[in-house]
Structures are given as structure tokens and as C-alpha cells.
Amino acid sequence: MFRLLLLFLVLLLAALQYRLWLGDPNIRQVWQLEQAIIDQRRENQLLTERNQRLEAEVADLKEGLKAIEERARSEMGLIQEGETFFRLIEPDTRRRSQ
């Protein structure tokens, strides 16, 4: 009787191990899904931070003229009326050394 019970328990353990490692879903798939969840949360955090920066920039553009003026200066090279534009050119040191 003891041997029959032991054989039954060994077969039950083997069946459970089979399901754990080779069944559907198996332990490898669970690990892959957990890693995918971690990666997705990391990406979501980065996107949330980017969205917050964009929201702040939009709010600044809607409310303040200083941000618009700064963008026009830096991106388009515009100057205000009455200002003088100075362009500084770096000297070419290669010509002098030759």
C-alpha cells in the first residue's frame, strides 16, 4: 500500500512539474510577462515625464509672451525693434598656423 501511495505521489509531482515548466502558461512565460510589465512601466514613466514637460511648455506659451519671445529669438533668430544684432565669428586659427 505504501509503495502505491509513493508511486501516486511521484506521478502527481511529475505531472505538476510538467505543467509548471512545459504547460501553458508555463513559468518561463510568466517571467517574460513580468519583465514586459517592468519595461512597460519604465516606458510609461518616461512618457509621463515627457507629457508633463510638454504641458508646462504649452501652459507657458499660452500665458506668457516671454516664452514666445525666447523661442523666436533662439529658433528663428528674430530681434526686437530698436535692438542691435551682433554676430561674433570665431577666428580661423588653421590659416594662421600654416
DSSP string, 45-86: HHHHHHHHHHHHHHHHHHH-HHHHHHHHHHHH----TT----
Query: What is the per-residue pLDDT for 52?
Result: 97
pLDDT at site 97: 60
The position carrying cell 500500500 is: 1
Residues 50-71 have pLDDT tens digits of: 999 999 988 877 877 777 788 7
Residue closest to 83 by CA, chosen among 91, 75, 74, 73: 73
Please state the domain extents for the chain.
19-61
- Rounded to two decimals, what is the model's pTM? 0.47
Instruction: Compare 16 and 51 and report the one with higher pLDDT.
Output: 51
